[in-house]
């Protein structure tokens, strides 16, 4: 059995297990065991990957498995990973694991909730391991659909509206992606021969420029919607604010990364020429995303809105860095995806935990929580500091790699855009500290909150898991960074051939 | 020949007049009777064309079976003496326009088209041939449509029974349905 | 063919019958009369089939059999339709087609 | 050859201590965690002194210059093929000097806090933060490359944030901590941009390569120009922006007075002796580039320093909160150091300003920490920050009084205390470089003496204010640091900085220039004299004077309304005119467009759903007409 297929198999087995169980309490246990296994498996995968690389395996992708499943269109079930996907898989299993524990208290339709949640995770894992465009798209859809149910059924506030909006926008995006993928497919054999969906095969040929000009924007925008590209980000605040805790975590932590990863793996990797030509448009858009998201976050009153806008800003940085098209910036983008995934999952987990205690998410209605629920508050401060890019946490590593990389661009335009993007670190500090000051510090204003209980064990599991990875990456980024750097080599050499700096 | 022509015109006159009466009559039972005439006249046409078997089927199945069925259902659902309200003039006008236009286009097309008959000898249609063809699996065999029609008839029979059967308990007690 | 009646006479006759049926379908409000219009339409088609067969391809029997099958289909259709009509009558106590518009929007 | 690998422990011990106290502190007894923190610091203080001894006296000089020694270096993060962030330890004269300053003051503050913070809630948290600060500050000075420095730079920022906001239930403390972090963060953005420009042009982050007079930064950097200045100048100005923020120079000084909301020992450690001089250290670290490749940037350093020192000194004369007076005095003194760097040249006697600046940094750390700790002891005794609530305290707090007096004399530049030596050299350097700057600094020396003795007389002399409890001398844990620092402040003037810490690491000869020293002492004495006349006895003179220069006084008292300007910019412009419109735009225009698309779709479908009337005959009618139409089209019209 290919180790990668296990990543899809385990969630499916977990779902089967959950379906078969009658007792609601056991559902959580089965879900956590399944996802715990998944986490261990990711650790094993990272270990295997790194040791294979150390052993001198220089193949572009490792653990490749290729099975034809739709012959007439040449669609394969093809899986394989490089350092980037390995890192993303690791991120996903961490966030899903933490997400399971963050929704431990869920009472309503527990079974169905965990089934949908794990189904979502299945889609995400499948997406990251696929190297066949069609299979990838299939998994992508699989990840988007449960979102509607999860928000529509278990959400809060105007949940139907948000769920509908989110799903429609993402569906619109996937329409673009589908067109892009088919376009790539039909242009994958410019000199005749078998057309392909396989990313590796396509990456070896040059798609005709005319096709690239059409399909690069389509795929990039398509994935960009999921990655909260301005002006297609508005599903994010509404969706996040209505979604239940674990879904927000997964969504912001992992699903939004599908956008960045897809934009990188499909749009940039397969069509670097068009990317090179058209990047400037998207660089402007993403720079706007970065600064604009941060400014919007300053005046928000709802915790989830603040975080959603901060996600817009941070994810904008991911796309921004990818578009810089050099090894360092792209490396930074990948690290930023991981770092933001962990951070924002932590944020949403904490917001959910605070909300379940205070029953409000408006920061003005809370205050002085540090005294009442110190554990959660300290975790929130840590999340905040990580988010504003403090050294020692993963956010700093990511941001600095991005900025340093982006600034090495020989073009003055790119460097000026970088400087504009850098201003976001100050604005980020403003809104993070504002929230911390209003929410956690100061005197406890509301006597209703005086007897709140601090974190339960499962909440501690959830937050500590996330924090420890954030700190781990923040303190020792070298291994992760070098793992990703190595995997960026193919695309970089492709770009360098195109445009020697 | 003349006799043939007279027969044809007689039948066609019956068909046309009673077709129109069928769709315009304001008494439903009369409409059914007119339909019967149309169907019988069509059977006459089949006889004229030397398809005796078909004509017989038409008479027994169509004129005999279907019309009786229709009359039964009329008796079940309507008052016989009731006259329909006259058709709304707008509706009648537009429908007539559409029908006439359609008929016009069709007839023009028919008149335009050159039909060319084959020179091959006509085949005598007798019962043996019909029976053999229907159950033959070889060339010119119709076993597949025959079977399909059989199944269709069976299905229609079952469906007719199921649909027309009285529905179960009309208002299921909401208390007893299981709540998730 | 030596009947002395040209083919197109049959075809014109069938066309008139067909559109008479269409007219009935469009104007009638009673479901049963609509059904009758449908019978008219089917019958006109049968006449066409038979006439074509006799005049153009007398050595074959396609048209003949087709009419036969159409009659069978018409019979089953009538049976099902009447069952439906009776069911509708039970539920709505009317068989007026304009009153049965549950499928609207 | 002496190896310095052990210096890694100087970083590791406080870091481990932070982890220990941070994670397990609440399980320990408060006293134990305090002692643990202090003993950790004692160890690294000892290590630092050993390092200083080994470095200055045991290590061979090459070509008469102290060598820069990389004691430890490991790649932390690979950025590009050329650029990589290392975490390492760089030993050279200024870093060793800073080691001494930081560990000494920090050790004293640790001891002092045992008494001062006794019984406070969150005692272990306090020591955890102190350890974090010590770790980051030491990391900052020992950095081997500019990015490592930036990392620790951010870390000192956050420790400062945490410590200012230590009393997190006090709204003013929360506000001050937020302000401090955001203002310095803004400045750090400049630092980061500076680093990026620098690294883009030189392809290295390493200090040794960067500051090598023959290195790429100095050799090629000045060539490319952008908007009239060379890129190296631009990058150095941006880097200096970081320094301005951290060192609270004008216009980023506004956070420092508010930062006094933190516990007083913290003010002594972070906001007087160590962290705020990081900006000076930064310029000193990059000094060869400033001096050789970006002289325009060095002028900026000098003028910003001079202006800040004058500006802060004037404000200090009007403040009544004793910690705020000291805060403004800090700004003023750092302005001195900046100015000294700004007027310095590279190498030999040219580098007098550089040496003077480092010298003053050293002495200032001692006497300013002493002043703050003394102020802490006073506040501890009278439970107030305002000098109006004090008076005649010399009877009650004899040790504090003596040490405070020594500190005041030192800062006023009265011989034989150390401040005299360092200040004299700064003035000498300024005099030889730029007469206007010299004049400003000369005036500031007088103002400094005035406001320090205004403080002194107001606290210790004057009438005996009625106290609710009789003030009593601080416990011994608090007085010992005072005494130690007083000795340091008094005698550190004899350290031969010109032999040890110089711009090119080579010793040079410098004498006290009596032509400048004597007038500076005189103006200091004049300041003291005026202060005595005004405040030594009860006198209406100050009030009358304030009434005469009503507006000037009011402006100075309100800190020239700089805070209000900032408030205007942040609250009005950023919040009201940028963020709120942006948020509105997002909700109503961007999101509105998306919603509008949905609404239009819905409206259209409402319109066209009329076709689905459920009327069978309508459907058939449309169908038939369509079929006829199509037939007509295809049969007759198509050809």
CB contact under 8 A, A298 and D154: no
Q: Residue C12 is part of a domain; what is its CATH number? A: 1.10.287.3510
Interchain CB distance below 8 Å, B98 and D635: no
What long-range pairs does D508-514 form, CB within 8 A, spacing at least 24? D508/D348, D508/D349, D508/D351, D508/D355, D509/D349, D510/D349, D510/D352, D510/D355, D510/D425, D512/D421, D512/D424, D513/D424, D513/D428
DSSP string of D306-356?
A: HHHHHHHHHHHTT--BHHHHHHHHHHHHHHHHHHHHHT--SSGGGGHHHHH
Give yes or no for residue A378 having a pLDDT over 70: yes
Q: Could you tell me if residue C47 is inside a domain?
A: yes
Inter-chain residue contact B123 with C61, CB threshold 8 Å: yes
**Residue-averaged pLDDT of chain C:** 85
What distance in Å separates residue D578's CA from the closest CA in chain C? Answer: 47
| Structure token digits, residue D414 | 């009265």
> D538 falls in which pLDDT band (50, 70, 90)?
low
Q: Are A10 and A33 in contact (CB under 8 A)?
A: no
pLDDT tens-digit readout, A399-412: 888 888 888 887 88
> Which among C24, C57, C60 is the nearest to B23, CB-wise?
C24
Residue range D556-580, pLDDT digits in tens: 777 777 777 877 777 777 777 777 8
Backbone angles phi, psi at D76, to 5 degrees: -100, -40
- Residues 6+ away with beta carbon under 8 Å from D23: none
- Across chain A, mean pLDDT equals 85
In this prediction, residue B172 carries a pLDDT of 47
Q: Do C26 and B120 touch (CB under 8 A)?
A: no
pLDDT of residue D215 exceeding 60, the answer is yes
Q: Which of D42, D304, D14 is nearest to D141 (CA)?
A: D14
Q: Is the peptide bond preceding residue D158 cis, with omega within 30 degrees of 0? A: no
Q: Does D631 touch chain C (CB under 8 A)?
A: no
Range of the structural domain that residue A112 is part of: 3-498
Chains touching C (at least 3 CB pairs under 8 A) are B, D
Distance of CA A146 to the CA centre of its chain: 16
Taking an 8 Å cut-off on Cβ atoms, the answer to whether D77 and A408 are in contact is no
The burial class, CB within 10 Å (0-12 / 13-18 / 19+), for A373 is buried
D605 touches chain C (CB under 8 A): no
ipTM: 0.76
- Closest by CA position to D335, among listed D365, D313, D354, D318: D313
- CA nearest to C55 within chain B: B117
Q: How confident is the model at residue C13 (pLDDT cuts 50, 70, 90)?
A: very high
What residues in D contact A433, CB-CB < 8 Å? 161, 178, 181-182
Chain D: residue nearest C22 by CA?
D624
Pick the residue of B92, B98, B99, B106 with the most D CBs within 10 A to test the interface with D by mutation.
Answer: B98
> Within 10 Å of residue A35's Cβ, how many Cβ atoms?
27
Q: Determine phi and psi for B115, rounding to 5 degrees.
A: -90, 135
Q: Compute the average pLDDT of residues A377-383.
A: 90
Cβ-Cβ contacts under 8 Å for C99 (sequence gap 6 or more): C92
Q: What is the spatial distance between Cα A499 and Cα A493, in angstroms, rounded to a whole number?
A: 10
Residue A190 predicted with pLDDT over 60: yes
DSSP codes of every residue in A195-239: ---BHHHHHHS---HHHHHHHHHHHHHHHHHHTT-TTS-THHHHH
Among the partner residues D609, D616, D621, nearest to C97 by beta-carbon distance? D616
Query: pLDDT grade, residue C43 (50/70/90)?
Result: very high
Say which of A168, A237, A403 has its CB closest to residue D196.
A403
Among B8-17, C42-51, D528-537, D628-637, the range scoring the smallest mean pLDDT is D528-537
Size of interface B-D (CB pairs under 8 A): 16
With beta carbons under 8 A apart, name residues in chain C contacting D620: 25-26
Contacts with B105 from chain D: Cβ below 8 Å:
628, 631-632, 635
Tell me which chain B residues have a C-beta less than 8 angstroms from the C-beta of C55.
115, 117
C34 touching chain B per CB within 8 A: no
Q: Report the pLDDT value the prediction gives residue C44, as an integer from 0 to 100.
A: 92
8 Å CB contact between A82 and A484: no
Matching residue, tokens 């091959």: B120
What is the β-pairing status of strands D84-91 and D69-78? antiparallel
Residue C30: pLDDT band with limits 50, 70, 90: confident
Residue D228 touches chain C, beta carbons under 8 Å: no
- Higher model confidence: residue B164 or residue B113? B113
Q: Model confidence over D347-379: pLDDT tens digits? A: 777 888 888 888 889 898 888 889 998 888 888
Interchain CB distance below 8 Å, C102 and D614: yes
Class of residue A223 by CB neighbours under 10 A (exposed 0-12, middle 13-18, buried 19+): buried
Per-residue pLDDT at A501: 46
Is the predicted pLDDT of residue D336 greater than 90, yes or no? no
Return the structure tokens found at C87: 């069911």
What would the two tokens of residue D586 be? 């997002």
Q: How far apart are the first and last CA of chain D?
A: 102
Q: Is the pLDDT of residue A242 over 90?
A: no
CA-to-CA distance for D473 and D583, rounded, in angstroms?
A: 56
Interchain contact B/D (3 or more Cβ pairs less than 8 Å)? yes
CB nearest to D169's CB, from A396, A401, A443: A443
Query: What pLDDT was estimated at residue A366?
Result: 82
Q: What angle do CA D67, D68, D72 make, to 5 degrees?
A: 135
Residue window 18-77, chain C: list those with CB within 8 Å of chain D.
22, 25-27
Q: What's the pLDDT tens digit per position in A68-81? A: 888 888 888 888 88
Q: What φ, ψ does residue A393 adopt, rounded to 5°?
A: -120, 165
| Chains near D (3 or more Cβ pairs under 8 Å) | A, B, C
**What digits encode the pLDDT tens for the residues A209-220?**
888 888 888 899
C73 touches chain B (CB under 8 A): yes
Over chain D, what is the mean pLDDT? 84
Tell me what pLDDT residue C79 has.
87
Q: Residue C103 falls within a domain, yes or no? A: no
Chain B residues lying within 8 Å of D634, measured CB to CB:
none
Total domain count, chain C? 1
A/D interface, count of CB pairs below 8 Å: 135
D105 within 8 A of D269, measured Cβ to Cβ = yes
pLDDT at A396 over 80: yes
- What is the band of C16 on the pLDDT scale with cuts at 50, 70, 90? very high
- How many angstroms separate the CA atoms of D515 and D493, rounded? 19
Answer whether D547 touches C (CB < 8 Å): no
Work out the pLDDT band at B36, boundaries 50, 70, 90.
very high
State the pTM of this model: 0.82
**pLDDT tens for each residue of A266-291:** 888 888 888 888 888 889 989 988 88
Contact D94, D284 (CB under 8 A): yes
Contacts of B101 in chain D (CB under 8 A): 628
CB of A263 within 8 A of CB of A177?
no
To the nearest whole angstrom, how far is the Cα of A185 from the nearest Cα of chain D? Answer: 30
- At the topology level, CATH places domain B1-84 in 1.20.120
Q: How confident is the model at residue D224 (pLDDT cuts 50, 70, 90)?
A: low
B105/D631 CB distance under 8 A:
yes
- Closest chain B residue to the Cα of D621, Cα to Cα: B95
| Contact status, residue D445 vs residue D523, Cβ threshold 8 Å | yes
Angle at B109 between CA B104 and CA B115, to 5 degrees: 140
Please judge whether B4 and C3 are an interchain contact, meaning their C-beta atoms are less than 8 angstroms apart. Answer: yes
Report pLDDT for D220.
66
Residue A375, chain D, CB below 8 Å: the answer is no
Give the 3-state DSSP-derived string for C40-80, with helices as H, strands as E and coil as C.
HHHHHHHHHHHHHHHHHCCCCCHHHHHHHHHHHHHHHHHHH
Eight-state DSSP code of residue D559:
G
Interval A368-373 mean pLDDT: 82
Q: Do A320 and A402 meet the contact criterion of CB atoms below 8 Å apart?
A: yes
Q: B58: nearest CA in chain C?
A: C71
Q: Is residue C36 part of a domain?
A: yes
Would an 8 Å CB–CB cutoff place D612 in contact with chain C?
yes
Cβ A200 vs Cβ A255: under 8 Å: no
Query: CB of A401 within 8 Å of any CB in chain D?
Result: yes
Instruction: Work out the average pLDDT over B145-174.
Output: 76
What's the distance, CA A369 to chain centroid?
A: 29
Q: How confident is the model at residue C6 (pLDDT cuts 50, 70, 90)?
A: confident
pLDDT band at D322 (very low <50, low <70, confident <90, very high): confident
Q: Where are the beta strands (DSSP E) in D44-193?
A: 69-78, 84-91
**pLDDT at residue B17 greater than cutoff 90:** yes
Question: What pLDDT, on a 0 to 100 scale, did the predictor assign at position B41?
Answer: 92
Under a CB-based contact definition with an 8 Å cutoff, are residues D378 and D400 in contact?
A: yes
Pick the residue of A391, A474, A489 with the most D CBs within 10 A to test the interface with D by mutation: A391
Give the tens place of pLDDT for each residue, B85-115.
Answer: 888 888 889 889 989 999 998 898 888 888 8
Tokens of D17: 């201590």
C46 confidence band (pLDDT: 50, 70, 90):
very high
Chain A residue numbers with beta carbons less than 8 Å from the beta carbon of D178 are 433-434, 437
| Helix axes A159-186 and D591-608, enclosed angle (nearest 10) | 90
Closest residue of chain D to B103, computed from CA coordinates? D628
Residues of chain B neighbouring C4 (CB-CB closer than 8 A)? 1-2, 4-5
Look at D635 and B102 and tell me if their CB atoms are within 8 Å. no
d(CA A46, CA A298): 38
Q: CB distance C98–D615 less than 8 Å?
A: yes
Interchain contact, C27 vs B23, CB within 8 Å: yes
State the smallest CA–CA distance between residue C3 and chain D in angstroms. 31
A324's tokens: 């810089």
pLDDT in tens, A143-168: 888 888 888 888 887 888 888 888 88
Q: Which tens digit of pLDDT belongs to each residue from D229-277?
A: 788 888 888 999 988 988 888 888 888 888 888 888 888 888 888 888 8
Distance CA A297, CA C74 (A): 70
pLDDT band at D466 (very low <50, low <70, confident <90, very high): low
Chain C residue with CA closest to D618: the answer is: C26
Domain count, chain A: 1
User: For A401, phi and psi rounded to 5 degrees?
Assistant: -65, -40
**pLDDT recorded at residue B14:** 92
For residue D128, the distance in angstroms to the closest alpha carbon of chain A comes to 14
Query: What does the mean pLDDT of chain B come to?
Result: 83
Chain D contact present for A135, CB below 8 A: no
Put simply, the answer to whether C101 touches D612 (Cβ < 8 Å) is no
Predicted confidence at residue B167, as pLDDT, reads 59
Whether pLDDT at D511 is above 80: no
The residue among A100 and D63 whose pLDDT is bigger is: A100
Q: What percent of chain C has pLDDT over 90?
A: 24
Q: What is the token pair recorded at D271?
A: 């906001």
Asked whether residue D434 carries a pLDDT value surpassing 70, the answer given is yes
Position C15 confidence tier, pLDDT thresholds 50, 70, 90: very high
**Rg from Cα positions in chain C:** 17
Looking up tokens 């990838």, which residue turns up?
A: A136
Beta-carbon separation of D625 and B95 below 8 A: no
Cβ distance A291 to A427 under 8 Å?
yes
Q: Which residue of C has its CA nearest to D620?
A: C26
User: Do A397 and A371 contact (CB within 8 A), yes or no?
Assistant: no
Which of B17, B34, B126, B163 to probe the C interface (max C CBs under 10 A)?
B163
**Domain residue limits at C29:** 7-92
The residues spanned by each domain of chain B are 1-84, 124-167
Question: DSSP string of D599-631?
Answer: HHHHHHHHHHGGG----HHHHHHHHHHHHHHHH
């Amino acid at each position: 059995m290919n180790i990668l297929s296990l990543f899809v198999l385990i969630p499916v087995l977990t779902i089967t297990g959950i379906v078969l169980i009658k007792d609601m309490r056991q559902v959580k246990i089965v879900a956590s065991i399944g996802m715990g296994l998944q986490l261990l498996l990711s650790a094993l995968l990272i270990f295997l990957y790194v040791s294979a690389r150390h052993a001198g395996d220089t193949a572009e992708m490792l653990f490749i498995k290729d099975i034809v499943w739709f012959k007439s269109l040449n669609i394969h079930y093809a899986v394989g990973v490089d350092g980037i996907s390995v890192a993303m898989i690791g991120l996903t299993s961490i966030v899903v694991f933490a997400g399971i524990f963050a929704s431990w208290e869920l009472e309503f339709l527990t079974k169905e909730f965990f089934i949908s949640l794990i189904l979502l995770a299945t889609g995400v894992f499948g997406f990251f391991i696929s190297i066949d465009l069609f299979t990838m798209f299939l998994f992508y859809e699989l990840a988007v659909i449960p979102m509607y149910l999860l928000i529509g059924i278990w959400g809060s506030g105007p949940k139907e509206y948000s769920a509908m909006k989110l799903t429609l926008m993402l569906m619109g995006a996937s329409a673009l992606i589908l067109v892009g993928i088919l376009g790539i497919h039909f242009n994958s054999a410019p000199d005749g021969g078998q057309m392909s969906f396989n990313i590796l095969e396509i990456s070896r040929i040059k798609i005709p420029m005319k096709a690239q000009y059409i399909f690069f924007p389509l795929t990039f925008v398509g994935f960009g919607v999921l990655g909260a590209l301005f002006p297609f980000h508005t599903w994010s605040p509404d969706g996040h604010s209505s979604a239940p805790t674990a879904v927000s975590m997964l969504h912001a932590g992992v699903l939004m990364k599908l956008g960045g990863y897809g934009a990188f793996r499909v749009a940039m990797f397969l069509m670097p020429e068009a990317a090179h030509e058209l990047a400037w448009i998207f660089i402007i858009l993403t720079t706007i995303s970065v600064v604009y998201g941060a400014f919007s976050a300053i005046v928000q009153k709802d915790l989830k809105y603040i975080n959603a806008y901060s996600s817009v800003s941070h994810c904008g940085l991911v796309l921004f860095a990818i578009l810089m098209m050099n090894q360092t910036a792209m490396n930074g983008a990948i690290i930023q995806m991981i770092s933001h995934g962990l951070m924002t999952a932590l944020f949403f987990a904490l917001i959910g935990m605070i909300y379940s205690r205070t029953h409000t998410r408006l920061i003005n209605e809370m205050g002085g929580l540090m005294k009442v629920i110190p554990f959660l508050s300290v975790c929130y401060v840590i999340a905040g500091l990580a988010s504003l890019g403090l050294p020692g946490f993963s956010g700093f590593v990511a941001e600095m790699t991005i900025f340093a990389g982006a600034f090495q661009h020989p073009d003055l335009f790119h460097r000026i855009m970088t400087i504009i993007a850098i201003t976001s670190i100050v604005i980020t500090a403003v809104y993070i500290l504002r929230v911390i000051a209003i929410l956690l510090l100061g005197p406890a204003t509301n006597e209703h909150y005086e007897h709140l209980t601090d974190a339960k064990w499962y909440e501690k599991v959830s937050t500590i898991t996330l924090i420890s990875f954030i700190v781990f990456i923040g303190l020792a980024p070298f291994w992760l960074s070098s793992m990703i750097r190595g995997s960026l080599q193919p695309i970089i050499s492709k770009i360098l051939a195109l445009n020697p700096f | 020949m003349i006799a043939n022509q007279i027969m044809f015109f007689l039948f066609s006159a019956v068909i046309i007049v009673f077709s129109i009466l069928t769709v315009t009559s304001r008494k439903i039972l009369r409409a059914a009777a007119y339909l019967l005439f149309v169907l019988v006249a069509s059977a006459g046409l089949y006889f004229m064309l030397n398809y005796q078997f078909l004509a017989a089927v038409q008479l027994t199945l169509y004129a005999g079976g279907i019309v009786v069925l229709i009359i039964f259902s009329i008796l079940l659902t309507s008052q016989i003496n009731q006259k329909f309200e006259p058709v709304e003039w707008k509706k009648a006008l537009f429908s007539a326009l559409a029908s006439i236009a359609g008929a016009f286009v069709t007839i023009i097309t028919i008149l335009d088209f050159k039909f060319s008959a084959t020179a091959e000898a006509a085949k005598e249609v007798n019962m043996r041939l019909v029976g053999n063809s229907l159950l033959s699996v070889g060339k010119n065999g119709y076993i597949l449509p025959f079977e399909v029609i059989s199944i269709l008839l069976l299905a229609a029979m079952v469906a007719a029974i199921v649909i027309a059967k009285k529905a179960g308990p009309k208002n299921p007690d909401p208390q007893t349905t299981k709540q998730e | 063919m030596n009947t002395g009646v040209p083919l197109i006479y049959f075809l014109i006759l069938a066309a008139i019958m067909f559109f008479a049926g269409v007219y009935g379908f469009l104007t009638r409000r009673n479901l049963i009369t609509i059904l009758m219009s449908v019978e008219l339409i089917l019958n006109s088609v049968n006449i066409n089939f038979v006439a074509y067969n006799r005049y153009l391809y007398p050595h074959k029997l396609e048209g003949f059999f087709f009419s036969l099958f159409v009659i069978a289909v018409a019979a089953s259709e009538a049976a099902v339709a009447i069952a439906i009509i009776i069911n509708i009558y039970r539920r709505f106590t009317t068989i007026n087609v304009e009153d049965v518009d549950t499928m609207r929007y | 050859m002496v190896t310095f690998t052990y210096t890694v422990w100087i970083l590791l011990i406080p870091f481990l201590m932070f982890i220990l106290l941070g994670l397990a502190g609440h399980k320990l007894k408060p006293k134990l965690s305090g002692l643990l923190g202090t003993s950790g610091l004692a160890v690294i203080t000892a290590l630092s002194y050993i390092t200083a001894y080994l470095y200055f006296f045991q290590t061979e000089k090459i070509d008469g210059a102290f060598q820069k020694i990389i004691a430890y270096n490991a790649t932390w993060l690979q950025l590009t093929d050329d650029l990589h962030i290392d975490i390492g330890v760089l030993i050279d004269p200024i870093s060793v000097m800073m080691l001494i300053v930081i560990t000494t003051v920090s050790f004293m503050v640790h001891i002092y806090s045992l008494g001062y913070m006794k019984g406070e809630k969150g005692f272990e948290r306090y020591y955890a933060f102190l350890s974090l600060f010590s770790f980051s500050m030491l990391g900052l000075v020992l950095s081997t490359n500019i990015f490592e420095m930036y990392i620790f730079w951010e870390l000192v920022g956050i420790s400062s944030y945490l410590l200012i906001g230590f009393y997190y239930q006090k709204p003013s403390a929360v506000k001050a901590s937020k302000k401090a972090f955001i203002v310095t963060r803004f400045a750090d953005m400049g630092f980061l941009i500076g680093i990026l420009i620098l690294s883009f042009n030189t392809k290295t982050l390493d200090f040794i390569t960067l500051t090598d007079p023959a290195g790429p930064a100095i050799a090629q950097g000045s060539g490319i120009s952008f908007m009239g200045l060379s890129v190296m100048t631009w990058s150095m100005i941006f880097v200096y922006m970081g320094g301005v923020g951290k060192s609270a120079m004008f216009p980023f000084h506004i956070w420092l007075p508010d930062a006094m909301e933190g516990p007083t020992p913290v003010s002594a450690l972070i906001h007087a002796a160590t962290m705020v001089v990081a900006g000076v250290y930064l310029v000193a670290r990059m000094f060869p580039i400033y001096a050789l490749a970006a002289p325009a940037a060095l002028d900026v350093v000098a003028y910003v320093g001079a202006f800040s020192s004058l500006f802060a000194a004037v404000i200090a004369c009007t403040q009544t909160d004793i910690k705020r007076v000291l805060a403004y005095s800090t700004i003023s003194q750092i302005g001195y150091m900046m100015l000294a760097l700004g007027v310095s040249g590279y190498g030999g006697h040219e580098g007098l300003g550089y040496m003077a600046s480092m010298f003053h940094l050293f002495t200032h750390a001692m006497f300013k920490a002493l002043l703050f700790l003394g102020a802490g002891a006073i506040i501890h005794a009278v439970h107030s920050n305002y000098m109006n609530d004090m008076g005649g305290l010399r009877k009650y707090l004899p040790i504090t009084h003596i040490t405070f007096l020594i500190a005041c004399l030192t800062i006023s530049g009265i011989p034989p205390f150390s401040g005299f030596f360092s200040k004299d050299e700064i003035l000498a350097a300024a005099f030889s470089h730029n007469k206007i700057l010299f004049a400003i600094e000369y005036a500031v020396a007088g103002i400094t003496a005035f406001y320090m003795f205004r403080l002194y007389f107001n606290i210790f002399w004057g009438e005996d204010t009625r106290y609710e409890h009789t003030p009593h001398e601080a416990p011994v844990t608090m007085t010992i640091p005072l005494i130690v620092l007083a000795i340091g402040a008094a005698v550190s003037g004899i350290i031969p900085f010109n032999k040890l810490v110089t711009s090119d690491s080579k010793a040079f000869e410098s004498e006290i220039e009596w032509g400048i020293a004597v007038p500076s002492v005189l103006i200091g004495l004049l300041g003291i004299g005026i202060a005595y006349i005004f405040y030594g006895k009860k006198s209406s003179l100050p009030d009358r004077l304030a009434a005469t220069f009503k507006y000037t006084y009011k402006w100075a008292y309100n800190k020239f309304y700089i805070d209000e300007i900032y408030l205007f910019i942040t609250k009005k412009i950023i919040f009201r005119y940028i963020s709120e419109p942006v948020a509105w735009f997002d909700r109503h225009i961007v999101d509105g467009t998306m919603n509008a698309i949905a609404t239009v779709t819905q409206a259209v479908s409402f319109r066209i759903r009329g076709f689905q009337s459920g009327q069978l005959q309508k459907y058939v009618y449309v169908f038939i007409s369509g079929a006829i139409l199509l037939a007509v089209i295809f049969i007759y019209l198509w050809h």
